[in-house]
Structure 1
Amino acid sequence: MMLFTQKLQAAGKLADAHFTVMQVGSRKIYEGDFFPRWQVLAPHFTVYGFEADPTACAEANQAAAGLPWPEQHFPYAIAGAVGPATLYLTHYRDCSSLYRPNLAIAHRFGMDSWLAVEQELPVTTTTLDAVYRQHQLRAPDVLRVDVQGAELAVLQGATAILPHVLAIEVEVEFLPLYEGQPLFPDLDRFLRS
């Protein structure tokens, strides 16, 4: 994609374009995790991030402060409905989820120490549609969802914005790494419906 967008940028085809990226699960995992491949569009895009862990959300906003595009992270646990839930904060924070880790499956892959729950944080979930309306955000062109098992719930709570989305990048599992999580066929069926 970068080569294609670089060619468009060089030809002046993106000068009047503006893209909006929504990232659900916007914890900054490592230096420059997702955004370098989008930098070619700067400053012609806006990033809205949503992160259930308030500490990680604050860190993401701090990291976004010096970027050449507008980027804002909101401290919301995005799901399929509004209500109380538990955020399971794991040893390796990138594996934290609204679903309890399935340590039997994690053990098969040597990941049980990563997914060991260190804290259960009570949260109130909301939907992407509700936050979109409440904050009067730009409709997303790209939706990225990486929420460790709760991806289907996020999509189910985004039915008003999905018709505006040009591309979706969503993490899926083929084995239940989290207890009760929907798997690839469930997400595939929902997106095809």
Structure 2
Amino acid sequence: MGEVIFSKTYVGDALSSWQVVHEMSTHIVGGALVVRDSDRRDWHLLRLHDSAFLFRMVRMRCVLRFLPTTTTNFYIHHYGSLDVAEIALDGTIINRGISHTISINAHPDDTIEIDVSFLSCHGSLSIGCSDNGRPVYAGTGLEQFALLSVLVETFDAYPELSRTPAEERITLVDVGGQGGLQLKWMLRADHITPVVFEPLSSEATVIRQTLDRIPGAQVVEKALANTSGPQKLYITAGSYCSSLREPNFEILQNYSVARVFNVVSMQEVECVRYDELFRASAVPSPDVIKIDVQGLEYEV
């Protein structure tokens, strides 16, 4: 998979970095993270967040021991409805999911080593339990496995994200891209060419850190409008509510979200028209346009 970009091994207390997100409980015993499921019908997952995982090839090597009370399989989840892999206590691969490679090694000390690689299109990794192909299930509330270590490595995913020819990819124009792409587009990163407009330099820099991993992606550090030239941007307490329009507090005072629209500063930003950029060959012709500009949608 090429040169390692990120590498970290979680052992001992560091295993607590894997946080419960769905119907599980954990505790450290003898340096291992003991995982218990729940009797409630739901997902049963632990999750780890890091932007280093997003739009990368990820390798995970998990060393664990199934316990006498085990009733489920070890499960690696991507996000949404995407499975990575599910492995039974005897090492049988129940589901290969979206894994590119997967290998299982059983050791004499009753531990099992699961080594899997996959394309990650989300900034998190998830592990937990699944009941023979059913990641949503009602469990027993008993201890399922003891996790001894997890190695996470990431690699450049350019070949995997380029597998759809450029001419067949969907050009997504995201106007007001603070926070990055919507989840439904993130999970289809190998099928899209995103063009994101974000006028705030600090926010544009954050978006570039991960979006630049998608072939052909662009982050345009300007505001899209109906006229080109400088305009005043009202930067609000909740920066995602910033707009070229001044907030209307006569109306907003009637809503609990009013405080996030408080103007904390104003900044002059450069505005552009998309058709002008297109004629200058600076941007491609869009297939899909998503607009979230706090009241300036009509002008855009």
TM (norm. structure 1) is 0.64
Unaligned segments of structure 1, at least 5 residues: 4-13, 155-193
Take 2:178 and 2:274, find their aligned partners in 1: how far apart are those partners? 17
Give SS of 2:289's match: strand
State the shift of 1:133 in Å. Answer: 2.7
Take 1:41 and 1:59, find their aligned partners in 2: how far apart are those partners? 20
2:292 pairs with one of 135, 140, 146: 146
Give the 5 Å matches for 1:17-56: 17-28=168-179, 34=182, 36-39=183-186, 41-56=188-203
Match of 2:11 in 1: none
State the shift of 1:23 in Å. Answer: 0.5
State the shift of 1:20 in Å. Answer: 0.4
Unaligned segments of structure 2, at least 5 residues: 1-79, 82-162
1:62 pairs with one of 209, 223, 241: 209
Further displaced range: 37-46 or 96-105: 37-46
Give the 5 Å matches for 1:13-162: 17-28=168-179, 34=182, 36-39=183-186, 41-67=188-214, 69-154=215-300
Once superposed, which parts of structure 1, at least 4 consecutive aligned residues long, lie more than 3 Å away? 39-42
Take 1:142 and 1:128, find their aligned partners in 2: how far apart are those partners? 13
Could you list the per-position Cα deviations for residues 34-58 of structure 1 after superposition, in whole angstroms to 9, with x for gaps in the alignment? 0x31355442320000111121111
Could you list the per-position Cα deviations for residues 126-175 of structure 1 after superposition, in whole angstroms to 9, with x for gaps in the alignment? 11112223343221110111111111111xxxxxxxxxxxxxxxxxxxxx
Give SS of 2:208's match: helix
State the shift of 1:101 in Å. Answer: 0.4
Aligned length: 138
Identity %: 28
Could you list the per-position Cα deviations for residues 4-59 of structure 1 after superposition, in whole angstroms to 9, with x for gaps in the alignment? xxxxxxxxxx9563210000111116xxx50x313554423200001111211111
Q: Choose 1 or 2 for highest CA Rg.
A: 2
For the Cα contact (< 8 Å) 2:199–2:270, is it kept in 1? Answer: no
More relative contact order, 1 or 2 (CA 8 Å, 6+ apart): 1
Give SS of 2:256's match: coil
TM (norm. structure 2) is 0.42
Give SS of 1:28's match: coil
State the shift of 1:63 in Å. Answer: 2.5
Further displaced range: 140-149 or 56-65: 56-65
Match of 1:179 in 2: none
Aligned letter for 1:82? S
